[in-house]
Amino acid sequence: MPRLANLLRRPAVTSVRAAAPGDPASGRRALEVQVDGLACDSLCVRRTERALRSLPGVVEVRFASGPDRFQVESSGPPPDPTAIERAVAAVVVAPWARRLLAALAERLGITPRRR
């Protein structure tokens, strides 16, 4: 489902914190990554999951709705938060359209509501 207000802001990683892995015996390490500004639950989520999966050592990524959270499990050291932010920023859908809409909204005095 589209989240039109999120088109007015660029997706950004707002939180990266340690999480309990699904199977502690597996030796995996887990992070919970929260991303603000995803415009939809389909394409945006799939692109973000793919970007997170491409990081070195990542073996599994799961999406949890609500505040948009991704459970990221790695086989070794967890990915660096800066690398996570870069990966998410690289998959922004239609960045030129988002910038145009944000500039138009600013000019009209429209501010997006937070979920």
Domains of the chain with CATH codes? 4-102 (3.30.70.100)
The SS3 assignment for 107 reads helix
pLDDT(101) > 50: yes
- Which pLDDT belongs to residue 98? 67
- Which pLDDT belongs to residue 103? 80
Residue among 11, 2, 7, 9 at smallest CA distance from 87: 11
- Which pLDDT belongs to residue 37? 80
Q: Averaged over 77-95, what is the pLDDT?
A: 84
| Average per-residue pLDDT for the chain | 81
Query: In whole angstroms, what separates CA 30 from the centre of its chain?
Result: 15
pLDDT(114) > 60: no
Half-sphere exposure in the Cβ direction for 112 (13 Å, CA): 20
Q: 55 to each of 64, 89, 104, how far by Cα in Å? A: 19, 13, 35
Predicted structure pTM score: 0.75
Give residues with Cβ within 8 angstroms of 84, minimum separation 6.
13, 16, 31, 33, 52, 55, 72
